[in-house]
Structure 1
């Protein structure tokens, strides 16, 4: 079965000229994140997204240590017109020999390993390396990837932040000013570091994974409110909180604790009352916030993507969101359809 082509709503990235589909395709899972994906299935997933009308695609050197960029580039190379592509900087890849660490996330990754570097020279080199892996001369959005204490620890992050502050940010500005990229941002799992980023200067878009979801609205204020003031957009990645909102048992890549399971159960009760599939609600929720320009799930196959497209098409009544708010399942101030707030 082939998905029918949809005309997705588009939203603008910050104050740039870039317009992206409100549903995007994330490139981590097709590179074998926690489960190996055959190359032909990965490419077919990207092609199915294009066929369905999705125009925003995100990848990164980290995903399969270069594999995601290669796979995505294989498909986009001949179908680039009308698409918006983002990748990330902050890691350089060097040859890897021997076994992978036990906690290595990507199955079937290419034989490289990551070297963190957020300096001016490293960002320029990373940009060029990504162009070569993608086989494309145009990248639209560059995100600084995984800078912050969640990845590096409090003390470990300080020298990396200094690299970004004293050189990396300048490199991004130069690439944008020269027209080689259209937008700059950060791609992280913690909103707090994005508040620090605002102190460095202006940004167009942030890719934030898991921190503005149906389950968690911790980034609502001061982060999302600041984005509105500074006219920066947000891509809401990992809308299913790594599985717990789509029938899984993991939350933020670990086994979900009891309080999270209980909260999901309470949300499911409201879903059942309105006949709304939980994954559909999770997928559509982030776009209720005016700062959010796109939602970014990561299907592993065309079949998984078809399921996402079906959830995307579910009509959800405004009363559903109000019911969630009335039961205290959305944070105070959460925007709801129709201009209301929880």
Structure 2
């Protein structure tokens, strides 16, 4: 496999190699994980959508985060399951770029949505009397549109720069398609692609981290000067959920990026880290919000009880 494919537009995913007798077990494990991700995310999404008392900016933004998580996990896991049973993992040019688009929408969108959620928590705690006038439905629509529109624009430019390059190789040395492993398959100079990819990485990381540090510093200061201990604990508890989700996503993304930048790391380790980055946050995020947010937790329990009571 010399990577040269002539006029063929297909790619070959290197993926994971497992013994034949382990494939069925791994398929069932991955399927179970994907079903958990879909179930918990859709459950929280429906609970927020169907209960008017949850139609607040924080919960609407959480719904956007859920959609983002489902895009990322659905772009990876079904394809990963199908690849367990084949030795030569062929993916078409179109399918590869669609997968790359969805995965980059997940990583870029999640960072921007978490940034918007940090702003919402800042306004709610530092300016509680003005919250309803600042976070109007129209403001909420604009913030969510900026997050999705910004992610879409960054990703489209990213992949357009890659599509323009002449393709000379076909072997994608990862378990899935994304820009970092696609532009290196080109014959020509891809330095522009590398520079732009680094720009996106550092821009989004700096933006989200700066927003988190600024807003949570302001929040801690505001909580310190609050006289009511009840208000302090409620504010800290509310922010702890968002901060936990941000740290979880940030750590998995950081490990994934670092693994790609160090060629001495075992390729299977790099693939595993990249896969966990797309599967762990979507699985744990709704659970974290469901456990730490009283309103969501109570409504989820009511929903489950109403469905299980006839049984």
The alignment's TM-score, normalised by the length of structure 1, stands at 0.24
**Structure with greater strand percent:** 1
Higher RCO (Cα < 8 Å, 6 or more apart): 2
- Structure showing greater radius of gyration is 2
